[in-house]
Amino acid sequence: MKHLFLSALLCCSCICYGQQQTALIKGRLLNVKEFIPYIYYSYETENGPVSDSVPVTHDRYTIPIKEELPLLIHLRSRPLDDRSRPRRLITASVYIQPGINEIFSKDSFPNTSIPHNTANKEYIKLETASKIYSQKEDSLGMQLRAARSTNDTATMFAVQARLTKVQRAANGIYETYARQHPQSPIALYALTRCCGAIIDAEKAGPLFDSLPVAVKHSTAGRNFEKRLLVAKKVSGGAAAPGFSQADTSGKQVALADFKGNYLLLEFWASWCIPCRLSNPSLVALFNRFREKGFTILSVSLDKQEGKQKWIDAIRKDGLNWTHISSLDGFDNPVAKLYDVHEIPQNFLIGPDGKIIARNLDVDGLENRLAPLLK
């Protein structure tokens, strides 16, 4: 009878996706040697992150949730700021659905299972498929940090290139899942993961359209659709949105000032290692095409306290083109206008003011510009 009751709840979740619902986590620790007095949990909502803790009594704990479901929730056996053990040894991420979610942690806290939970079953399947790339990302991340600590530029550049390839491969796993399983309760999660901070509207649009109506109307679905609409406005062939912002001396510079030229609109910051690593190649490209109708407009996502570092980086890297910034970090209005959530990013804009391409590396830029600027 209990299994039938849970199955009914799971079916209901498909119908009610997008509405605020109630879930109850009933957790049990089975043969877990670690002393765990509290369970710390966190998850994301439309209004920002939520985090709290509950006591563990006789190896059991309960967490009541009232949110849109299904919901990805992160459980930890220690506080988030506790760095005494690797995060992977103290964290279990699970998808919960409406009703009772019985979570069992066997032998170690991260080794969790939730019987009769379709969303979590699919989540585990997806994360298992992408695990090899996650492990590679962790390894390359450690190598990158080590190279940064010794200011080994050559190694940083090489490792960053490898890391980018691994991230693209991982994104492909999520894209394939979203394409093949649009009716899955975690299809929107997979779509969000495959897009990351940069939404390719041409690719993501059809995938989003294939999702169930209830999912698209959920808060997460509506938020993704908003970003998708912005991404469409800055996709290839669209007119580049106009703006005006102050340069290093405080003078206002407008996008319209560059009409008639091929323009690379580049988003960067003085603290961005990948940005700084690519600057020498960008300078060489600029010098090659600058007399043929090509120029660069760089938008810095530095903050007010980093203004001098921004100016110093321009001089040190020899970036002899126009630079603007509101010094608001990622709250820069131009970054928001162009849906920029990570850097480096760029947009190649034609003389007619229309976007030709987005996020080209230096080789890609050269291949695009060479036939246009003979």
Range with the poorest average pLDDT among 27-41, 189-203, 308-322, 329-343:
189-203
CA 93 to the chain's CA centroid: 17
Identify the pLDDT of residue 18. 52
Identify the pLDDT of residue 17. 52
For residue 29 the two structure tokens come to: 């620790």
For residue 303 the two structure tokens come to: 């903050």
Give pLDDT tens digits for 250-266.
999 999 999 999 999 99
Q: Is the pLDDT of residue 11 over 70?
A: no
- Whose CA is closest to 349, among 269, 275, 244, 239? 239
- Side chain identity at 94, as an amino acid letter? V
Identify the pLDDT of residue 206. 96
Contact 194, 175 (CB under 8 A): yes
Identify the pLDDT of residue 147. 87
Residues in contact with 371: Cβ distance below 8 Å, sequence separation at least 6, in sequence order: none
Average pLDDT of the chain is 90
Which ranges in the chain belong to alpha helices (H)? Answer: 2-16, 118-149, 153-180, 187-195, 201-209, 213-216, 219-233, 273-289, 307-317, 333-337, 362-372
Identify the pLDDT of residue 153. 80
Give the span between the Cα atoms of 199 and 220, in whole angstroms: 15
Identify the pLDDT of residue 267. 98
Identify the pLDDT of residue 48. 87
Identify the pLDDT of residue 16. 47
In 3-state terms, what secondary structure has residue 62? strand
Q: Is the pLDDT of residue 2 over 60?
A: no
In 3-state terms, what secondary structure has residue 373? coil
For residue 63 the two structure tokens come to: 């967490």
Sheet holding 20-30, edge to edge: 60-68, 20-30, 99-106, 112-113
CA distances from 164 to 14, 137, 157, 232, 332 (A): 36, 9, 11, 24, 25
Identify the pLDDT of residue 8. 33
The average pLDDT across 324-349 equals: 95
Residues in contact with 48: Cβ distance below 8 Å, sequence separation at least 6, in sequence order: none
Q: Measure the CA angle with vertex 80, ends 151 and 89; round to 5°.
A: 85
Show the domains of the chain with their CATH numbers.
2-116 (2.60.40), 120-233 (no CATH), 244-372 (3.40.30.10)
Give pLDDT tens digits for 180-195.
999 999 999 999 999 9
The average pLDDT across 204-226 equals: 93
Give pLDDT tens digits for 12-70.
333 345 568 999 999 999 999 999 999 999 999 888 899 999 999 999 999 999 999 99
Q: Is the pLDDT of residue 335 over 90?
A: yes
Identify the pLDDT of residue 6. 31
| First-to-final CA distance of the chain | 75
